[in-house]
Amino acid sequence: MTSSLNRFNRALDSLKKVISKTPEEINRQKLKFTSYATITELVCKSNDKSSLLTIAVTSLIQLLESADSNNRLNIDESLNKIIRSSIDNSNDIAKVLIALLKILSKSTNERSLKAALWRFAELAHFVRPHKGKIYVQTLIPVLIKLAARKEDGIHEVSVSSFPRIFRYIGLFTSDNDIKNLLKAFFKNLSSSSVEIRRAAAFIVTVICQYSRKPEFFFSHSLCTLLDLLADAQINDQKNVLLIQGCLSCIRQILSCTAKPRPELENELDDKNLEYLLQIYEFCFKYASYQDHNVVTAALETLHQLLLSAFASLVEKLMTKGITQSSVLRREHHGSTLSLTARSEIFSVGSIIAQSDDDIFSGELGKKINALRRGSESFPDVSEEQKQKMTENWVQEQSENDEDDVSSSSLLNMDTSHFANSDDEDNQCEVDSTLSFRTLSVDNIQIAKEMNEKNSLNRSKSAFQSMKSMSVMSSASLGTSLINLSTDIDIGDVFDENEIPLQYCARFLVTRFLISDKNDSVRPTRVSVMSLALNCLAQIMKIYPMSGFISVVKDKEIYEDFANLLEVVLSHASHSDQQIRGLVRVVIGNFISASLVEDYYLLIESNTNILTKSLLTELVSFLLQGLEDESSMCVRHCLQGVSVCLEPLLLTPEYKLAVPLLDFMFSLMDNPYWLIKVIIKNE
């Protein structure tokens, strides 16, 4: 034992001396490699391994502070060999864990902390159950100290390490341990570092998920986050960061509880309905601010809330009036929130002369308007029908939840890399005039000449108010973009005579999909438009009747305005490939939800118009998306087709799906691998 220890100490001392000198002072690579080999061999093969193990692990991790990357690489390799040789012996692996804990509690170097943290996470499953509480007592204070560190690298390693650690030791923590940890990471939600805010949001969710009382701590976290949002003032930059961090954390919690365990579902559905409604209201509040990072965070949270589809929340959002709302009423001292939108609105009856190349001319606009007028005259849905609609939606959502989550991940990956609310690099701002494809000067002149030939009597005021005209190269809606100088009423969150999802759809369309009169006031970002379309896609899946409502609430004052579906379809030829694709996702969700028995019969019986005519036009839009030159647009379109294809095949209009199936086979040769994955999954 003495000889082995002496050899080990000599090798370690020589290694420290070599590492401490710069390459300019000494070039002794051979000695370094010899020292690494000696230390590794002594620890792995010596009979005195137990006595050398703790010293070796501690010393080697401390040597990771070296600035030379070659030294760090060799030390990492030696550490990995030593740890692998200790796995078969429970006593040896316990010593390794203790050594790592000591480094975490004492070391201040970033590299040493990261190396010790991820190795401890990889070995956490070796913690013996009867030793769990002992480890927790040492580990919790260490993790609280790590939360206070300002290095981004430490928090990035924490994101991958915390799930592995708490999966095995979370059950040994007490309520006070969890509360102290949550308190430490809640402070990081207002950090100026994007990485630290993201890490804090994720780690808070992990801590709650693997605690002994996940439903209690999820509720506790939501309550704390909502209190922080209620107290935050947008005019303070520190609070702007806090708002982004809180919304990101709420989104993580909603995503984690989207597939709850049976014992957790009732807790989140019933007890926390008030919290879910407050989140819903906060999304509207922060989506109305000028800071695009806050707007993006609010829309991402709203999308996740709609995607999670808690049964009690869905039922509440399909019931006239939100009786349990408290956030915005409290801010306005009990007064209703009246949100108006200064917008450019589509007016039915285009002054654009349709060319012979237009496939759809103005027929779709007329049909949708007829459907809208029919939907506006619908009698109030009975409680029994409403409950049945909700049950159908929840059942459909649960069956397709896995596909929805994967689709959501792909969409999110494209919008920002995830259009992340915390990502300051999302600066691809597009002027609001680019929200719609505008005519060139020559095309405008041609349109005017065609109007004169057709003897269309237009007043001068109408021409003066026109700003731009939307051109649908293969899907003209027969509509024109009219610039209105007056505010329009889209309702409010607390309207007792309307379903809340109707206001939600109007809000998204008028604020993000229809440009403002003054372009400098509210520029439109592609990432924001994408998120708005994602939210509308979920609304269409829950409540497809929202596609037939007018953009404005007061139909007596504002006549001949487009409905929401028309506005969405007007972006089918948008210059951005992602917007074109997401429009097809909205169409796919709309078709799928409309073919549910209740809605299908309701639409047909109240409009006296063949639903096949509308479906034919919408399927044509999907075909155009599949033929798009952009692979991203085609991929999104395939997601829309995958949602509506099966319901369409089960209807009497199943022949409409044949062109879609035929064209999908031709996409097998598409070079974009994600397209092949989607097609093979279908």
In three-state secondary structure terms, 340 is: strand
* Structure letter (DSSP) for residue 189: G
**pTM of the full predicted structure?**
0.74
Residue 207 scores a pLDDT above 70? yes
Best-predicted range by mean pLDDT among 60-74, 250-264, 456-470?
60-74
Q: Are 244 and 278 in contact (CB under 8 A)?
A: no
pLDDT of residue 206: 96
Q: Which residue has the higher pLDDT, 115 or 440?
A: 115
pLDDT of residue 528: 92
Residue 13 scores a pLDDT above 70? no
Q: Are 670 and 637 in contact (CB under 8 A)?
A: no
Q: Hunting for tokens 């961090």 — which residue is that?
A: 245
pLDDT of residue 48: 66
Q: How far apart are CA 637 and CA 663, in angstroms?
A: 12
Mean per-residue pLDDT, 273-287: 90
pLDDT of residue 159: 96
Band of the pLDDT at 149, cuts 50, 70, 90? very high
Mean per-residue pLDDT, 585-605: 76
Range name among 10-19, 369-378, 424-433, 495-504 with the lowest pLDDT average:
424-433
Q: Are 151 and 199 in contact (CB under 8 A)?
A: no
Range name among 15-29, 34-48, 547-561 with the lowest pLDDT average:
15-29
Band of the pLDDT at 33, cuts 50, 70, 90? low
Residue 466 scores a pLDDT above 80? no
Q: Edge-to-edge strand order for the sheet containing 479-483?
A: 344-348, 479-483, 466-468
Mean per-residue pLDDT, 147-166: 94
pLDDT of residue 556: 54
DSSP readout, 85-125? Answer: HHTT-HHHHHHHHHHHHHHHHH---HHHHHHHHHHHHHHGG
Other CB atoms within 10 Å distance of the CB of residue 184: 20
Residue 593: both structure tokens together:
């939800």
First to last CA, the chain: 65
- pLDDT, averaged across the chain: 72
pLDDT of residue 107: 79
CA 154 to chain centre: 24
Q: Which residue has the higher pLDDT, 665 or 387?
A: 665
Q: Hunting for tokens 């809000």 — which residue is that?
A: 507
